[in-house]
Structure 1
Amino acid sequence: MRNSYFQFKQFRVEQDKCAMKVCTDSCVFGAFVEVAEAKCILDIGAGTGLLSLMVAQRSNARIEAVEINPEAQQQAKQNFAASPWAERLHLHPVSLQEFSKEEQPKYDVILSNPPFFLSSLKSPDAAHNTARHTGELLFEDIVIFTRERLSESGNLYLLLPPAEAVYFAKLAQASGLYLSDTLQIHTYHGGKCIRHIQTYTFKVPASPTIQDFFIREEDKVTYTHDFVKLLREYYLAF
């Protein structure tokens, strides 16, 4: 049984009410995105609030978070209030579609670990389905919102499985958003790629970069140097 919370060095994520718990690839994502210079950040589909909390630790930005699920809303609100950055974290308990109707600033960074399985079978758990499958939040909604609300020099960051990442890239490019960088996350050296971290901008890149990132060594037990370096500010074990 998973813990009802995940303890980081500077904050705790309570997760007993959320279908999707803290996972390693999400932690890599939260630690990887560039936010040091950002003044305004949006987290689409906040869940427990993990990503918002991780970027709050590494920035001085005002952070907006959108979440549609009532139980996740309660959890994120709790986690935000208990963190050292409560005054900079703002939860909007609405869908992205409803949020888009409100007058909002331009965002320097938009990040999302969205519902992603486009064609896989759904589980009997409705909350789990909402968290994992496109339905309440569509890729098209993210693209449209980003086109309207991302600052001219801003970045959109997404965490997606490989197949869905390819689909999103085509959808984004057709709307004038361009994939500039991809970090391919592997469970271990020699293991398959499980997720892509994608960076999108309004500028057409001369040559999009692709890098591989390995969580563990070939023994499938030892964390890699790159993983330890990336998560050192967050994980108690490091």
Structure 2
Amino acid sequence: MPHEVELQPGERVDDLLTYEMKIIQSAEVFSFSLDAVLLARFAGVPQRGRVLDLCTGNGVVPLLLATRTKADIDGVEIQPRLADMARRSVALNGLGPRIRIIEADLKQYAGTGNGIYDAITVNPPYMPVGTGEHKENAHVALARHEIGCTLEDVAAAAMRLVRTGGRVSMVHRPSRLAEIAEMLRRYRLEPKRIRFVHPRAGAEANMVLIEALRDGKPELRVQPPLIVYGEDKQYTKELLDVFYGRRGELGGSE
């Protein structure tokens, strides 16, 4: 059951819809969305070992990963306010012994050494600088735009921190897929598994989930598309299974 924590002005506690988990959110900062939930269910993670979530925001991905693995999970977030919210969300769910939230810049973060993580997840900023960030508050702009880190910064950090043979999983925009694949390979992260997410059947994909293997051999599997809404304009069964934790893993890892 959730533990008691202190909320700051403007904060609320939302239901994560799975395992009675809760999360602290605020309208003043970037809240989690479907992409983070799908990433947490798609990523290949070991049952034991060490897992890292970069750009962790308010900690939703580590919280959801904790339902799938017994590994120790670190979350790195550059924004002090979001890192504080994430720590309190971890405490709210009684997961302090397993999840550690670190306020740090991923470009400098080294953990306790390089190559120490068995798996890394990341939901990075999707948009290059100069595409509207001036219209948003600083918290939202940093989450959406490559102000604090670029795609290359993310790939470089992941290569530095994951062990050989370890997995790096990312959610991003399909429009940048060619750039993503090229950047991952530049940093010795071989794309191995891709799944496109479509808002409805017949519509273009608006998200892509991609998993890479550090120093892996070239061989890419494209999994069946994930459809969000059915013809009845309601979530599909697969989506509901993901939300409610009935389906712990979204597509099998190798």
Query: TM-score, structure 2 length as denominator?
Result: 0.84
Instruction: Give the match for residue 217 of structure 1.
Output: 230
Number of residue pairs aligned between Structure 1 and Structure 2: 233
Letter paired with 2:146? T
Of structures 1 and 2, the one with the larger relative CO (CA 8 A, separation 6+) is 2
Structural mapping, 1:8-87, within 5 Å:
8=16, 9=18, 10-16=20-26, 19-87=29-97
- Stretches of structure 2 that go unaligned for 5 or more consecutive residues are 1-10, 248-254
Q: For 1:136-193, what per-residue CA distance to the aligned partner results, in whole angstroms no more than 9, with x for missing partners?
A: 1122222222222212221100010112232111111123221111111111222321
Question: Counterparts of 1:156 and 1:29 in 2: how far apart (Å)?
Answer: 11
Question: Counterparts of 1:57 and 1:101 in 2: how far apart (Å)?
Answer: 23
Instruction: Give the match for residue 121 of structure 1.
Output: 132
Superposition deviation, residue 196 in structure 1: 0.5
User: Is the Cα contact below 8 Å between 2:56 and 2:77 reproduced in 1?
Assistant: yes
Question: Counterparts of 2:86 and 2:201 in 1: how far apart (Å)?
Answer: 34
Query: TM-score, structure 1 length as denominator?
Result: 0.89
Instruction: Give the match for residue 5 of structure 1.
Output: 13
Where 1:98 maps in the other structure, the secondary structure is coil
- Stretches of structure 1 that go unaligned for 5 or more consecutive residues are none
User: Is the Cα contact below 8 Å between 1:184 and 1:196 reproduced in 2?
Assistant: yes
Superposition deviation, residue 101 in structure 1: 7.5
Alignment match of 2:167 (pick from 152, 155, 163):
155
Say yes or no: does 1:206 pair with 2:219: yes
Question: Counterparts of 1:209 and 1:197 in 2: how far apart (Å)?
Answer: 10
Greater helix percent: which structure? 1
Superposition deviation, residue 68 in structure 1: 0.7
Question: Counterparts of 2:208 and 2:232 in 1: how far apart (Å)?
Answer: 23
Instruction: Give the match for residue 106 of structure 1.
Output: 116
RMSD value over aligned CA atoms?
Answer: 2.3
